[in-house]
Structures are given as structure tokens and as C-alpha cells.
Chain A
């Protein structure tokens, strides 16, 4: 059954999200959820500040007498960088800056982390993922034909942070996730849930060529139930409690620390950039810019016209894409032909492999009913 093309009249999400629905005024369900569920409970004014103060006080109390009172996951990108700045200078916390090196760091990312750590006088901890295992797992995902091939990096990032928090009994993990630029999430169909370890293991079992010995694996039950409720480890998203305008944040970090902005989004990781700007649109027609711009439209940081204009041009840089393809292929240890072979291979979905999707669906329902989760990922 083919669906006629349709685009939201309010944001720029369209029928490339096959589950999208529209209201009578042509406004999509992403927007509707935002207005109905997110807006009422999202406060970056007095209430937000008060809530943040409460959490901050709790973090300080739990961390008293220790070398650090929380960990902040940083990628070198703007969200986590700005968060680090806020945590130290505005919230007066003593964070350990936590970075996971999955082998794809760009020089700018590494440089930005260095500038921040030095400029703010913070300690840094890095976990390096075994490259041979990461490479093999990434290749396995390519071979599987699913869209969510950045799962190995994402999964490793969170698994590593949780593992560290648990081992060192750190009660608070701060992340740069934020509603300001991410109130609309990538459809599950596009990126699925990167924490689904059953899916990860199944794809690895079928297409991997070496055992995952040191690769960090988490699971949905572990970090949504065990860690928060049994080990009392909480994930906090401070950027949701303060006004966060991306442009202003970038300018501030540039002026104060010599932080360098990225030529393109997600340029912190050369793989993610390739994946989101080329692979996903080319193979599946999923353009994550639609999601990002829609979020910015809803939070009034971009106009719909601007978004449409940008979307009319390809997400990747035509002048350098051949070079990027070659870079990714070489790094993965395969030929360009082999990589392009995966590109033209059959398109699969998460349903083609084992998964814990039912648990996620159930959990999401429970969370929404109980009012614990703001916004809907679907």
C-alpha cells in the first residue's frame, strides 16, 4: 500500500515516518504530543529553576566527601559541552567529565573536550572501546540491513557510563539530552531503541565474526529498572530546566573557551555524520534533519521556511562524500564496493531480528500513565 506524500503544516515531519498521523488542520501527531504533553510540564522559568535547585542539592549531598559528585557524558558536541559548563559554573557541581571513545572521534571533538576540561578545571575519564570488537559489530549492523546502524556507538556510550556509575557507586549521571533541540524524537522505525541488548546480540550472533568480550552491554531492564530503583542511579537532564538556545550556547563556549563549532551536525563522530547525512537518507529515505529541525521549529529556534529550504538540499556535502565513504570503508577494513553493496542490500527493520520491543512498548505505556516520561518516542 503506497501512502501519498504528506508533510505537517506546523513542523516538517512527513510521511517518511510511516507511522505519522495528521489532525484536521494538517498538524502531525508529533506536534500534538508536544503541545498536549510536553509543554504543560516543561518549565525553564521559576519552577524549572526550583526543581533544578532541588536536584542539585541532592547531588551535592550524595557526593559530599567524594572526588566528584556526578558524571557528565560528553561527546564534544554542543549539548554535552554546554551542560558541562552549566554544571560547573552555574550549579556549582563537581562533575567528572566522562567520555567514551568508540574510535570515530574527530579532531575537533577531541580538541573541544580538552578545551572544556582545561578551561573549567575538571577531571576527565575516558573509556576506550576495543576497536576490533566495535568494528566487527558495526559491520554486523551494516550486514543486517536495519536502519539503526549507529546502535553500537550509542549502546556502548550508555552501557559504559552506567557500568562506571555502578562500579564507583556514583548516584547521578548528567546528560545533555534536552527538549529544546530534541523534543521531537527520531521515530522508532528509524532508530529503534539503541539500548535493546537482545537485538544487538541477535544481530551480532548472525553477522558478527568475533566474540564480544570487552564490549559493554546494557539492557532496558537494567537501566530503566535495576539501576534507578535498586542501585538508585539517576539520569538527570539539566538542560530541560533552564532556557537553552543552541546558537547562544555555541557563541558563549566559543568566547569563553575557544570551543570550535562543527562544520556539520554530528561531526563529533565521523561515523555518525556519514550515517545520518548519507546512509540513512540514501538507503531508507530517513532524513534526521527533519526531526532536528522540527524540534527547533517547535521551540521557535528555526522557522518552517528555513527548515524547508535546508531540507531541499542533500544532507551530505557532495564535494566530500566520496572521500567520506572511502574513509568509513577503510576504517571498517572493507572496500568501498563492499560498503556500497550493503547500501543497496535489502532494507530490513528491527522486527526482522529478535528484540525486546514488547517490553519497551509496555514500559512506555506504564511511564506515560504514571506521568514519568515526558513526550513520546514512537
Chain B
């Protein structure tokens, strides 16, 4: 059972809908018990860093989430702000991140990218063509909507790269913890494929 953390933001409905159409069991989790019962977890996210972290902290699920991911080692996929929350901290806010993947979230340098937020469909080049990006090695494009990006402390944690006047990590991974900066639930067939892959990693 895939648990989609439902803490008040992020497109949980669309993600749930996609799994329903794929015939993969998924539920919107609003309690620690549901996280404990899940085999994999998705952490969606939209909005400003502190807003998201604050709501997660207040949701009553933070501890169960930590346990599921750090102790039980269940696969977790952070989406957009959900990926940024995996870092230690973010330029965008004051609250601490989850710190599950070494790195911090920085604001794009507006002087070099000329337009912020990074908004629209962009190409994603994964470093490995299996696992999360199985069958998405070439020609995959996803929808991005963000002004901040994840600067991973270790190159080895960068799972995919995207170019926006210079490369940045569009996906990260450390063991069972995955993050994607783009919105797979809003990226048509490529996103559906990625979400399907996550159900199998």
C-alpha cells in the first residue's frame, strides 16, 4: 500500500487518481497508523518551504514518517517542495528541513536564469536508466514550478539533472529516499510512468 501523506497541500488527489487508474493500491494518509501500515510513502508538496514544513510538523505524522523512512527504510518519494524538505535547510524559510539527504535548498540566481520561477516543461536526464527512471532515460520531460533548487552535498546523491541556464539536480536519491523537483502528477504520461516506477523500486 502506498501512503500519500495528506497534510493539507500538494496534489494528493491527482496522485491518488493516477494510482487508481494504474490499479495500484494507494491511500491518503492523515495518521501515523496509516504510515506505519504503508509499504511506500509519497510526500507531495507545493508552496513555500516554511508553510509546508510547518504543516508537516503540525500534522501528527512527522514521527511516524521519520520512523518509516529512517528505521524501517521504506521507500519515500518527495515531490517538489516535498523534495526540498529532504534537505537540511532552505534559503526560502527559517524552519529546519528533514535532513534525510545532505544538502541545502538555494534560490536560483535570477541574474543568470533571467526568469524566475522556473516554470514549464523541461528535459530530465537521469544518471541511471533503471529504478525510478526506468524507461525514462531519454526524451522524458516534466513540469517544473519552483524558484529554489536542491544543492546536494554529494554528487552521488544526484539522480537526475535538468538544465536551466546551467545544470541543477532535478532528482535526488539516498538509499530509500527519493526526491523529484518536478511534478510527476502533472506531467502526463512521463509522470504516470515515474509514479508507476516508484511503486516498484
Residues of B within 8 A of A323 (CB): 20-21
B22-52 residues with Cβ-Cβ distance < 8 A to A are 23
Residues of B within 8 A of A319 (CB): 23
How distant is A324 from chain B, measured CB to nearest CB, in Å?
Answer: 12
Residues of A within 8 A of B20 (CB): 323
Contact with B along A300-333 (1 / 0, CB 8 A): 0000000000000000000100010000000000
How distant is B16 from chain A, measured CB to nearest CB, in Å?
Answer: 13
Number of A residues, CB within 8 Å of B = 2
How distant is B19 from chain A, measured CB to nearest CB, in Å?
Answer: 13
The docked-state distance in angstroms from the alpha carbon of A323 to that of B21 is: 8
Chain B: which residue is nearest A319 at the CB level?
A: B23
Contact with A along B114-153 (1 / 0, CB 8 A): 0000000000000000000000000000000000000000
Chain A: which residue is nearest B20 at the CB level?
A: A323
The docked-state distance in angstroms from the alpha carbon of A319 to that of B20 is: 12
A309-363 residues with Cβ-Cβ distance < 8 A to B are 319, 323
The docked-state distance in angstroms from the alpha carbon of A319 to that of B21 is: 10
How distant is B187 from chain A, measured CB to nearest CB, in Å?
Answer: 18
B4-28 residues with Cβ-Cβ distance < 8 A to A are 20-21, 23
Chain A: which residue is nearest B21 at the CB level?
A: A323
Residues of A within 8 A of B23 (CB): 319
The docked-state distance in angstroms from the alpha carbon of A323 to that of B20 is: 9
The docked-state distance in angstroms from the alpha carbon of A179 to that of B143 is: 50
How distant is B196 from chain A, measured CB to nearest CB, in Å?
Answer: 16
A230-285 residues with Cβ-Cβ distance < 8 A to B are none
Chain B: which residue is nearest A326 at the CB level?
A: B20
The docked-state distance in angstroms from the alpha carbon of A154 to that of B21 is: 30
Chain B: which residue is nearest A323 at the CB level?
A: B21
A191-244 residues with Cβ-Cβ distance < 8 A to B are none
How distant is B154 from chain A, measured CB to nearest CB, in Å?
Answer: 43
The docked-state distance in angstroms from the alpha carbon of A323 to that of B17 is: 10
Chain A: which residue is nearest B23 at the CB level?
A: A319
How distant is B98 from chain A, measured CB to nearest CB, in Å?
Answer: 35
Where the two chains meet, the residues of B that have a C-beta atom closer than 8 Å to any C-beta of A are 20-21, 23
3 CB < 8 A contacts A-B: A319-B23, A323-B20, A323-B21
Where the two chains meet, the residues of A that have a C-beta atom closer than 8 Å to any C-beta of B are 319, 323
Nearest 3 Cβ contacts at the A-B interface: A323-B21, A323-B20, A319-B23
